[in-house]
Structure 1
């Protein structure tokens, strides 16, 4: 615990320095980091190979290995994400609006850093870079706690980041990582109120629930992704097929992948055989209700638990529904308020879906896989917030800031 306190103290000092940094200096540091990441590709991949080998020995599934795996192309993508963050407008110091009150005080609302952000995450080493650069750009110091499965990758990446920051005359302690990945240390981080201003968990439902139950530090919940695609009775079959295959099979391990397909009973007999055939070409296992089984008999029988499960794998649950209302009710009951999609040519049905589905991102005629900070134009993201306080949806730069009021007077006193 004493080591964690020392990290907290150093992070506080670094956060104060970062809060005063000029935008030009921060952007130059980020561009230098992008170059350093690519230059160190061999080092990063060598560390990642150790993690992949250990994961394979532990029987980790292929879909989860994909979350862990880094390639030269993915390192380039990480570097491009860093460059994109550098190109974005710096929110720090922005005065969002200003007005005069009856006492003739000029009052403004200004964006400021949150301070020190703790981030607990699993599996995906790219989160290390995303979190570090977003926090840095917004003047926040960060303490990272990655999962044991990505230990070597995360340590290598943080070493490169810290070296790059120091070379750009910024405090290396702006980015720190816990090398102890034990549960005890993670729980201690969750209670580091004296030094952490906010804690952001990113990972499985079990991880997020553990943080919510144990943290005394304020938490921004980044939820799990039990996402749905609903095919309406007025959907185009070819479009619907492309969307669900992409939403499920393009990268099934990520939180914006679809886990359940809902389809209107009016089009299910015509659509499902070809849709399921396409999904099976992508090695997707189908679990269907009784009506699905009546149309495609060789599906696995879906259970109640399938409707509430984030599979994060090549598995899709399918349910036939009698109406739009039934589809919306199912989503609002079982969804995790992440990303939901409808495929329809009916404008009024699409508007009903948009207004009544409770989720951070709701799509009409597009794949749920677009819920991503990079795709939304935010650069890298810190996570997808599924809560409603402070931030919701992909969390970019603005979501990592707070505000303060700045007030100009001319000697006024309150009567």
Structure 2
């Protein structure tokens, strides 16, 4: 069967089509995920207050494509009904909020805060969730002044019902719909192809090109495609006898390492890929480096095998490190969720500067239809170099129906720069 070459430029949707896709996803998420998580966490009402130029991170995931900001003040209210459906209200005059939300503000009779007070009085919820959190920045979007205003307008009868909506917000951010799960591999593959091209002779001329030049190229190319990077990319090299180097000219014999991701259709990727620059007398990557890649791939298998439904991030980390030690693999694991954010909502499995149990973020369980960056490094002795070096890899993965799936083509060999 003939394989069709993946064309990055034609795989990126036009702007209007992107808006249509994101709006469709928003509608499906509001219809399916929202009622499920509000019922799961027994939150009767969820109030999100948006402030222009100081947006709540959750509000940003709720705005239709034709609404670019909260415009002074926007209030979204979700009210859970006894039949597990959710009434969705917006306290704003912009008609573009429909049909996602029902506009309920009567400006001739009330201001926006008065409208919110009226809805709360009509619904009489037992628990009112708001976005305050000690541990998660994207669940902590309610400003202090707006919190004070909310307490004031709710009065003594309802102010005591205010609680953190952290659990609902985390699930809203981390759980993907079936359609998003189907689309995520294409997004991840765009990022992988960009990284692969950055680590090629099309971009790198050994002895001339610097690591900074490669960063500049990939940032420019992402911009030309009308995309955003999910964080500022980095490129460095591992060089025989010198270890890891940054901001240097790339030379024959270097292992070139890129850490890079994109933000597209509201979803982030995060990947680390490796290339080797052949010396003039070499036809292939030294066997010692290839063996180290095989070890890194083995650690990926270990991590995949230890992903189990409802197992916490800390439990996965401990099990993987134990198995790696049993197999004499020197491993560091610092995997994290991906989604609307690069370091997203969900369970963390170790951190680069904390190889152990992670309080709070490591205690969250793995759930179905969630996505992660499998991020780690292994250290291995390279006979040709007579030294031990780190091998850094990171692959975007999905956890679905009890199994790990790679979102992009898994790297099992170095890209070769001649």
Larger strand share, 1 or 2: 2
Q: Under a length normalisation based on structure 2, what TM-score does the superposition of the two structures give?
A: 0.29
Larger helix share, 1 or 2: 1
